[in-house]
Structure 1
């Protein structure tokens, strides 16, 4: 019993006290990682979970957008024509632009892109980007939602750093367009670029993501928050707990 207690303590020995208190106050389970561009500053809650590969869900729209642009299946001026199938999210029920599809996490839009792109090309892009486990599986329309693609919080940040540094194998104009669409909040003192995601596989945990980076006078800091979110009612917590963490660490100034 004592050895088990020590082992349990060791799992959380490196938890940042501020982040741990936030998770306790919010009453949620999950992981959070915040890291400076140079990697010298690093704050983590639940380091074990931060290393576990999980479904990316709609956070995959970050690389997915670049892939779709690179394949010329869409551009900044495109109108993505609604298929007239009513879906549970009202914002999806109408024609879309690339920006609106990204902002509202319009699944059917990106599935439409996927049918044009095909699994073979996705496999190639994932390897070039070194994105997560680089696996798609057999379903071109769902591999990022409930298929074989997995990425950890640590890997999310590694990918976002490559995006920020323009080190991904895509046209600079497409990268710049994506960064513009990623702006979630623009304040006088900082800019937050981010994307949410919610994975709801049938026979596995439901988890929510909020990943991105903040640019302020303090520098550039990357974040990846992953929460257990069994209900859609808990989805706002992904962003609110992250912003509180960034605020308490004085990274939004």
Structure 2
């Protein structure tokens, strides 16, 4: 049942997209970057208060929950086997998976195993304690699938401003989780070293937005990249949200990531 519900959303997030008939038009909803302790953002344009599904960027929150609760214990433990019936749109998903490979390959079923082990009450409590977006983990209407689907183009919605606020609280020790859970999550996030001693930590995500009638707009995906950059005692928290009118030739999250890194670190950028 989970496979049926997720097919349309997860396939575009995880498989190499098929080429469209023409070039997909990218619309940047919001690039936002805020240095911790600075009075004004380095980047802030567009509709940074617009909420949309967090998609795979929610794995940061799930990782915090998993390590804080003791379900996850390190980058390599637990290692859980793939089971028939799990979402399997990428070949890398059809193998034993650890916390590190979960984030590397953005393995949906591993996220679902964590949330199911948490159970609905603890899962809901964490989301509310995190103040995460609209905090709605009910899932698709009438499906009772919030525990496994709420963050996948479903009920849970968050804006770029809220993504940055959530990560800023996490880095400042302001979330009700252990320091170790933050350190463990940091250790398994995607890293880049763009230039000048900066190192970035982040997570991409992609999915389908809702239209005015509440149905998913198939073939018009969005892409996220959220995280932070460190250099000495400086920390810059960021989020970039993009939308497309047709399916692009690359994964939307990768496009969002590359655009954010370009905006911050290319010649003339605020961190160049």
Tell me whether the two structures share a fold, i.e. TM-score over 0.5.
yes
Q: Which residue of 2 is the match for residue 214 of structure 1?
A: 229
Are the aligned partners of 1:216 and 1:251 in contact in 2 as well (CA < 8 Å)?
Answer: no
Taking the TM superposition and a 5 Å limit, the aligned residue runs for 1:38-117 are 38-42=37-41, 43-46=43-46, 49-76=47-74, 77-84=77-84, 87-117=88-118
Are the aligned partners of 1:216 and 1:252 in contact in 2 as well (CA < 8 Å)?
Answer: no
Q: Which residue of 1 is the match for residue 166 of structure 2?
A: 159
Post-superposition offset of 1:32: 1.0
Q: Which residue of 1 is the match for residue 129 of structure 2?
A: 128
Q: Name the one with the larger helix percent.
A: 1
| Higher relative contact order, structure no. (Cα contacts within 8 Å, ≥ 6 residues apart) | 2
Asked which structure has the greater CA Rg, the reply is 1
Structure 1 residue 196 and structure 2 residue 220: aligned?
no
Are the aligned partners of 1:192 and 1:212 in contact in 2 as well (CA < 8 Å)?
Answer: yes
**Partner Cα distance (1:69, 1:221) in 2:** 24
Are the aligned partners of 2:103 and 2:190 in contact in 1 as well (CA < 8 Å)?
Answer: no
Are the aligned partners of 1:214 and 1:252 in contact in 2 as well (CA < 8 Å)?
Answer: no
Are the aligned partners of 1:185 and 1:192 in contact in 2 as well (CA < 8 Å)?
Answer: yes
Unpaired stretches in structure 2, ≥5 consecutive residues = 1-23, 139-143, 210-214
Are the aligned partners of 1:115 and 1:141 in contact in 2 as well (CA < 8 Å)?
Answer: yes
3-state secondary structure, aligned to 2:236: strand
**Partner Cα distance (2:51, 2:92) in 1:** 30
Greater alpha carbon shift after TM alignment, 223-232 vs 130-139: 223-232
Task: Normalising by structure 2, report the TM-score.
Answer: 0.76
Deviation track 1:49-99 (CA, whole Å, cap 9, x = no partner) reads 210111000110001111122232232121111114572212212101111
Are the aligned partners of 2:67 and 2:184 in contact in 1 as well (CA < 8 Å)?
Answer: no
RMSD, aligned CA: 2.2
Are the aligned partners of 1:84 and 1:94 in contact in 2 as well (CA < 8 Å)?
Answer: no
Post-superposition offset of 1:231: 2.1
